[in-house]
Amino acid sequence: MNFKRITRSELNYLVNLTSRYSRLLTQMPIILFLSITKIFFCLDPTLPKIIDRPISFDEQRVELTLEYLASHYGLVQNRPTISPQMVVVHWTVIPTMEATFNTFNPSTLPNARADIQSAGALNVSSQFLVDIDGTIYRLMPETTMARHVIGLNHCAIGIENVGPGADGKLTSAQLEANVILINYLQKKYPIKFVIGHYEYQDFVGHPLWLEKDEGYRTEKVDPGIEFMEALRKQID
């Protein structure tokens, strides 16, 4: 048998290998700790828990949205996308989440909306819907245009809140959810304005205001001055 004497470089290699594995073993608790931290980070309470509940966005809705962008804003696009710079907060007046979903789900406006029917058949909707208990639903992609505010849909993400309740108010759970959701949106997009729907006409004449039809206006009170004041105190 021919035993070869172990060379210095082979010895170094073995020592390195042993020390590498022993280092890995000693690092195991650190790796475990970091993994657990990462899991907890994903459960960060400052990040919104969002449930995707997409409304129908079929070919007809895409076509109607492209038509709306072109006729109301002069924006001729291939896809019905927006560049978010604003968040508009609403209340639904519809008393439940399910009924609101069913209202937004069809691509075309129901005949009951004679007030805005002449401005196009595209149905109303919003990117987000917050239920009475604060549950956040995402009804459509954040950067797809929803019809929820005159003049500003091309740059505004809409948050609808189910309500108001019998007391004429939204709930504290909804306030908390709106704060977390808006903080998340502000980190993700260059949001310059957070407004209540009742404030939208303040933007007539602003560079972001693109509505071409001067007769197309509706009076709004949602989501109430009190709610917006409380929201502005708490958002980043």
Residue 215 Cα to chain centre, angstroms = 30
Q: How far apart are CA 172 and CA 74, in angstroms?
A: 40
Task: Decide whether 11 or 221 has the Cβ nearer to Zn ion.
Answer: 221
Residue whose C-beta lies closest to Zn ion: 90
User: What minimum distance in Å lies between the beta carbon of 40 and Zn ion?
Assistant: 37
User: What minimum distance in Å lies between the beta carbon of 219 and Zn ion?
Assistant: 11
Task: Decide whether 131 or 222 has the Cβ nearer to Zn ion.
Answer: 222
Find out whether the peptide bond into 45 is cis, omega within 30 degrees of 0. no
User: What minimum distance in Å lies between the beta carbon of 102 and Zn ion?
Assistant: 18
Task: Decide whether 48 or 223 has the Cβ nearer to Zn ion.
Answer: 223
Q: Can you count the helices (H) and strands (E) in the chain?
A: 6, 6
User: What minimum distance in Å lies between the beta carbon of 119 and Zn ion?
Assistant: 15
Task: Decide whether 66 or 160 has the Cβ nearer to Zn ion.
Answer: 160
Nearest to 126 by CA among 157, 84, 99: 157
Structure-block tokens of residue 176: 């908390």
Task: Decide whether 154 or 197 has the Cβ nearer to Zn ion.
Answer: 197
Coil vs helix vs strand at 159: strand
**How many Cα atoms are found within 13 Å in the side-chain-facing hemisphere of 118?**
7
Structure-block tokens of residue 2: 């021919």
Residues at the interface with Zn ion (CB under 5 A): 90, 197, 222
User: What minimum distance in Å lies between the beta carbon of 156 and Zn ion?
Assistant: 11
Which residues sit opposite 87 in a β-bridge? 157, 194
- Most distant CA atoms of the chain, gap in Å: 102
